Structure 1
Amino acid sequence: MAARGSYVFVVFAMVVSITVEGTIDEELSRFLGEKEELLRTLEQDVLVGYQRKCGTQCNFDRNIYACSSPVLEEESVCSQDYGVSISTDAGCTTCSNRKLSMSRSYVRTPSREATCTDALNMDICLSQGLDNSFRENWMSMDKEESGVKWQFFASQSGMYRMFPGVAQERCHDYDPRLRAWYVSATTGPKDVVIVIDSSDSMDFRPSTSPLTLMGLTKEAVTSVLWTLTHLDYVAVVSFATLAQQLTIQNKNTLIRATRDNIQALTQEVRRVEPNGHTNFEAAFRTAFDILRRSEVVSRTAGCNKMVLFMTDGEPTRGEREPEQLTQIISSLNQREDGSKFASIFTYSVGELADTTITKKIACNEGGVWSEVEMVGTASLAEQLSQYFDYYGTLREGQGQVIWTEPYMDAFGAGEVITGAKAVYNTTTVPQTLLGVVGIDVAISATEKITTDKQDLLDTLRSRSSSCADIRESSECELEQLRQKVYEQGTIRYENNSAKWCDPSLAQECTLPVAEQCDNQYQQYSNCRNHSTEKVDYVAASCCSRYDEPCPSFTTRISSSLQLLSISVAALLSFLYVNMILPS
Structure 2
Amino acid sequence: MADYPANYGNLECKAHDENLAPFCKGSSPPAWCTQKWCYVDSSNCQGVVPYKSVLFANSDVYYSYNTCGESNEFKAWSGAATTGGTSASVTQLLDVVQSYLWSTRSRVQDIYEQLNSSEWCTVYGQCNCAECFQNDLWMEKTDFGRVGANARSQEFSCLAQSVAPTYSNVAAKEASPTERVGYQYFADQKSGSYLGWPAVQWCPEAEGVDPRFRPWYSSGSTGPKDLVLVVDVSGSMGSAGRAALAKAAAKAVIDTLEWKDFGTVILFNHGIAAQYSQQLVAMFDAERANLKNWLDQQAWAEGGTDFKVSLDRAFDVISASVSSGSTSMCQKAILFLTDGAASFESADYASVRQRTTQYSVALFTYALGSGADATVTKQLACENQGIFYPIPDGGDLANIMSRYYQYFAAGVEICTPSFTKYQDSVTRTELWPACLPAYDRTGLEPALLGVTCFDLNVMVNPSVLRSQSYWPDFLCKISDMTKQCRQLDINDCRLEKLRREYSEASSCITLDTSVTCPCADPACQDDPDFLDEKGYFCDTWVGDDCQRAASDWGYSATGEAQIQTKCKRSCGMCPQLNPCPKQTAQCSNVAQPSATACRATRTDKISPNSIEGTVEDVAGASASSAPVGPSCLIAATMVAVALG
- TM-score > 0.5, shorter chain as reference: yes
Correspondence 1:79 to 2:106: no
Q: CA RMSD, aligned part only?
A: 3.1
User: Counterpart of 1:140 in structure 2: which amino acid?
Assistant: K
CA contact 1:322–1:357 (8 Å) conserved in 2: no
Correspondence 1:501 to 2:508: yes
With over 3 angstroms needed to count, the CA separation of the structure-2 counterparts of 1:145 and 1:229, relative to structure 1, is farther
CA contact 1:28–1:449 (8 Å) conserved in 2: no
> In the aligned structure 1, how far is the partner of 2:285 from the partner of 2:154?
34
Query: Unmatched 5+ residue regions in structure 2?
Result: 1-80, 517-644
Correspondence 1:466 to 2:484: yes
Correspondence 1:334 to 2:334: no
> In the aligned structure 1, how far is the partner of 2:218 from the partner of 2:115?
25
Q: Which of the numbers 246, 253, 259 marks the counterpart of 1:217?
A: 246
Q: Which residue number in structure 2 is paired with residue 356 of structure 1?
A: 375
Q: Which residue number in structure 1 is paired with residue 126 of structure 2?
A: 66
Aligned pairs, number: 430
String of CA shifts for 1:48-96, please: whole Å, max 9, x gaps.
2123334xx688452133214xxx32x4355344x213xxxxxxxxxxx
Query: Unmatched 5+ residue regions in structure 1?
Result: 1-18, 86-97, 110-114, 207-211, 486-493, 513-583
Larger Rg: 1
CA contact 1:49–1:127 (8 Å) conserved in 2: no
**TM-score for the superposition, normalised by structure 2:** 0.61
Q: Which residue number in structure 2 is paired with residue 366 of structure 1?
A: 385
String of CA shifts for 1:498-548, please: whole Å, max 9, x gaps.
33223x44xx33599xxxxxxxxxxxxxxxxxxxxxxxxxxxxxxxxxxxx
Instruction: Give the CA deviation at 1:442.
Output: 3.6
**TM-score for the superposition, normalised by structure 1:** 0.67
Q: Which residue number in structure 2 is paired with residue 130 of structure 1?
A: 163
Q: Which of the numbers 202, 205, 221 marks the counterpart of 1:186?
A: 221
Q: Which residue number in structure 2 is paired with residue 46 of structure 1?
A: 108
Instruction: Give the CA deviation at 1:329.
Output: 1.0
Q: Which residue number in structure 2 is paired with residue 35 of structure 1?
A: 97
Q: Which residue number in structure 2 is paired with residue 409 of structure 1?
A: 424
> In the aligned structure 2, how far is the partner of 1:197 from the partner of 1:457?
40
CA contact 1:199–1:240 (8 Å) conserved in 2: yes
> In the aligned structure 1, how far is the partner of 2:205 from the partner of 2:148?
10
Q: Which residue number in structure 2 is paired with residue 548 of structure 1?
A: none
Q: Which residue number in structure 1 is paired with residue 316 of structure 2?
A: 289
CA contact 2:122–2:158 (8 Å) conserved in 1: no
> In the aligned structure 2, how far is the partner of 1:271 from the partner of 1:366?
34
Instruction: Give the CA deviation at 1:30.
Output: 4.8
Partner SS, residue 306 of structure 1: strand
String of CA shifts for 1:198-250, please: whole Å, max 9, x gaps.
1121122x1xxxxx3122111110111011000101111111122266235xx
With over 3 angstroms needed to count, the CA separation of the structure-2 counterparts of 1:460 and 1:25, relative to structure 1, is same
CA contact 1:235–1:245 (8 Å) conserved in 2: no
Of the structure 1 ranges 140-149 and 191-200, higher mean CA displacement relative to structure 2 is found in: 140-149
User: Counterpart of 1:100 in structure 2: which amino acid?
Assistant: D
Instruction: Give the CA deviation at 1:257.
Output: 0.7
User: More helix per residue: 1 or 2?
Assistant: 1
Alignment of 1:106-117 (within 5 A): 106-109=148-151, 115=152
Alignment of 1:2-41 (within 5 A): 30-41=92-103
CA contact 1:148–1:440 (8 Å) conserved in 2: no
CA contact 1:311–1:353 (8 Å) conserved in 2: no
CA contact 2:252–2:399 (8 Å) conserved in 1: no
> In the aligned structure 2, how far is the partner of 1:191 from the partner of 1:242?
23
Q: Which residue number in structure 2 is paired with residue 557 of structure 1?
A: none
User: Counterpart of 1:402 in structure 2: which amino acid?
Assistant: S
With over 3 angstroms needed to count, the CA separation of the structure-2 counterparts of 1:399 and 1:121, relative to structure 1, is farther
User: Identity of aligned pairs, percent?
Assistant: 24
Instruction: Give the CA deviation at 1:321.
Output: 3.3
User: Counterpart of 2:507 in structure 1: which amino acid?
Assistant: W
String of CA shifts for 1:235-272, please: whole Å, max 9, x gaps.
11111122266235xxx211001011111111222222
With over 3 angstroms needed to count, the CA separation of the structure-2 counterparts of 1:144 and 1:128, relative to structure 1, is closer
With over 3 angstroms needed to count, the CA separation of the structure-2 counterparts of 1:287 and 1:22, relative to structure 1, is farther
Correspondence 1:446 to 2:462: yes
> In the aligned structure 2, how far is the partner of 1:39 from the partner of 1:230?
21
String of CA shifts for 1:304-325, please: whole Å, max 9, x gaps.
122211110112xxxx234332
Instruction: Give the CA deviation at 1:23.
Output: 7.6
String of CA shifts for 1:339-391, please: whole Å, max 9, x gaps.
x5221111223344321111111111120111221425xx1111113421111
CA contact 2:370–2:392 (8 Å) conserved in 1: yes
With over 3 angstroms needed to count, the CA separation of the structure-2 counterparts of 1:76 and 1:40, relative to structure 1, is same
CA contact 1:198–1:240 (8 Å) conserved in 2: yes
Alignment of 1:175-254 (within 5 A): 175-204=210-239, 206=240, 212-243=241-272, 246-247=275-276, 252-254=278-280
Instruction: Give the CA deviation at 1:136.
Output: 0.8
Instruction: Give the CA deviation at 1:128.
Output: 2.1
